[in-house]
Structure 1
Amino acid sequence: MQFSSLIALLPFLAVALASPVDRNLGKRYNGVRIKSNRNGQCLSVPGDVFGDGVRVQTVDCANAQKWNINPGSGSVIHVPSGLALDAGTGKDNNEIVKLWTSYPTLFQQTWYLTGDNRIAITGGDQCLDQGSEFEGTQTWKCTTGNTNQIWFPIDENGNNLDPNGNGGNNGGNNGGGNGGSTPSPNIPKKDVYDDPTDGSHRLHPVGRDDLCVTVDGAKVDAGTQVNIAYCAPNDSENAKYQLFSVTGGQKGEIKLRDFPDKCLNSNVAGGNGQAIWIDDCNKASETQRWDYTGDKLRVDNGGNICLDVVLGSGKTAGTPYDIEERLQTWECFEDNTNQIFTIKY
C-alpha cells in the first residue's frame, strides 16, 4: 500500500488543525484491552517500539498493550506511548490504522465506541476493521453484519465491558426515557446566570439551569464537538461558546451568537449515538436544521432523531473548562428527559 506520502503529510495537517494535548484524562475505561470479535485477539502494536506511523495490529490478548477508550466519542489512546489511534484521512476504505501524536478533535483520531461495539470515526462512515491478521487493522465502511468491525473492551479477567459505560443509560437506548428523572443527578449544582438581553440564549438540560450546551475547548474550528459544561457568566470569555441564536418555537439553524457562520451539525445517517459538532453553516444541509417547536431539539429532516444527553457519561477534563457530560443524537422518545432542553427567559 502506498501510504508513505500520507504519513509524511499528516504532521503538517495536524498542526494546522489542532495542538497536541495529553488525552490521558477523563476516560471511562482506562487501561483496558480491546478484543476483536473475529479472531479473539486484542488490539496492540507488535513489539515495544512506539512512534508516529507504527501500524496497529492484533495479538494474543495476554501479550496485548492497553488503551484508554471512552464510550461515546473521543480519542483512543495507546497507554504505553500516549499516542492516539489514527485512521489516516478517516474517509476511505482500506486505510492503515496506526499510532500518531494525539491531536484532540482531529477528524481521523476522533472515534465513537457505539452501543453495538463498533469503533467508528465520529461524523464519518468508516469503522475500525480487523482486516488481515498479517496486515493488521484497517478502516472500512461501517456495515451492518460485518463482524470484522465488532470490538469489545475487556477487563483484566477477559470479561466484556459495556460499550455504553458501566450500564449507564445511553439516551434512548433503553427504549425511551430514564423514568422521568432529571438528567445529571450526580453533577454538583453551581451558579445560574440570566441570559443576555440581546436575544441570545443558553440551552440547558431540563432541570439543570447551571449546565449549558457548550462547544468543547473554547474553539470554533469546524468539527469541534459540542457537549455539556457548567454555564459561564455573561462577561466571561467562555460564554461565547454557549450562547446561541435560538428561541423556543423555532425551526432552522442554531448559530453561535458570536460566530454566526458556525452552526450545530449532526450525523443522522450514522444512526443512534452520533456526536454533535460545530460546523460551517450551510442552509442546504438538513443535518444543520433543528425543530425546537416542542421541548426537544429534533433534527428537522423528516426523521425522528433528537439531541440527547449521554447519562452517566462522566466528566472529561479540559481547558479552559471541563466537559461534564456528553451529547449525542438518538431516536426521540416522548418520556425521555435526557432529550428535553430548556431556555431560561
Structure 2
Amino acid sequence: MLAQLFALLPLLALTSAGPIAKRDGTLIRAGRDGQCLALEGLPGVMRYSQVQNGTPVITRDCLGANTWFINRGSGSITVPGTNFALDIGLTPGNNGALKVWQSYPGATQQTWYLTDDNRIAQTGGNQCLDEGDNGVQTYECTTGNTNQIWYIDGSNTPTPSASTSSAGPSASTTPPPPATILPQTPIYSNVIPDVPGAGQRIRPVGRAELCSSVDGVVADGSTVILKYCTEDGQGAALQVWDLPSGTGQVRLHGTNFCLDAGENPANGVGAKIWTCYDVPQQQFTYANNNLRTASNQCFNIQKESDGLITNKPFNTVARLQTWECSTNGDPYQAFGTSP
C-alpha cells in the first residue's frame, strides 16, 4: 500500500482534492498511544478565538482535544469554525513540528492524503504524521511503522505490524477509533473546566460536558450517575473526585466517601459511594481511560439508560454501573479527566 501511495502522491499534488463529502468535525487519534491531534492551548485558544498563524499542533488526552474536518483522499485538514488548516511548513523533514495556518486550499504545505490504511501523508511529499516519543511530528513515511497509524471517526482498525522506528517504539496494542456515545442526549458546547487542586471531574471520552456525579446527598449508598457538569455550588461539589495515580481509592473531593463497587462486584451493579475503608471494593486502577477493579469490573455507562433527561443541568443523563471490562475498547467504559 505504501509503495502505491508514493507513486500516487506526486500526481495528486497536481490535482485538486476529490469531491468527497467532508466528514463532520471528528477527533484524529494516534494508533500508537490513543492521544488525539489538538491545538496547543485548549480550551482557551478556541473559546476566546485565539487561534492564529503558527498555533502549534500537538497530541493530548482525547477528552480535551478539538475536532477536525478531514477527507478520505487528498485535501486540507481544517479546524471547524475557523479558517485555519493543518500546515507542514515549506521545508518539511523528519522530526518536524506541526502548526495551523490560514487556509489556502491547494497549497502544498496544507494538502494531505488520508490513505485507506489510516496514514496521513503530505500529498506530493514523503512525510507522514508520526506519533513519536514526544508527541506528533512529521517523519518519512515508512512501511510497517505503527507510529504513523491514525484513526478517523469510525474508520476500521487495521492489524498493527510489529516494527520499530527512529521516531520511537510502537505501542503493543492499538486503541479503537473514537465512537459517538449517548446519541439521545443533547450535546452542549459549554465544557466546565476543573479548578487546579480542587479535584477532577470524571467525564465520558467524547462527551466532556457530562460528569459522574453523586445523586443527591453525600451518604453511604448514594448512587453515582451521569449529569451535565455544574460550574459551582453543591452541584459542582458532587462532581469532583480525587483519583489514584495507579491503584487506590476514588474519593469524592473534600469528603471521606469513596466510589464503591460493592462486596460482590458484578455486571449491572449500580455505582455508589460509601464511607472510605481499606477494602477491595474501593480499590480501582485508573489507566487507559478505564476505572477497573481487581475483579475485572469496569466503571460503565448503562447504554440503555440514554435519554433520561428532564431539566438541564440537574437532571440524570444516564445511569452508571459496573460491568465486565471490555477487551475491544467499549466507549461506554472510557472516561477521562481533562476538559
Q: Same fold (TM over 0.5)?
A: no
Q: Look at both structures and tell me which one has the larger radius of gyration over its CA atoms.
A: 2
Q: TM-score range by the shorter chain?
A: 0.3 to 0.5
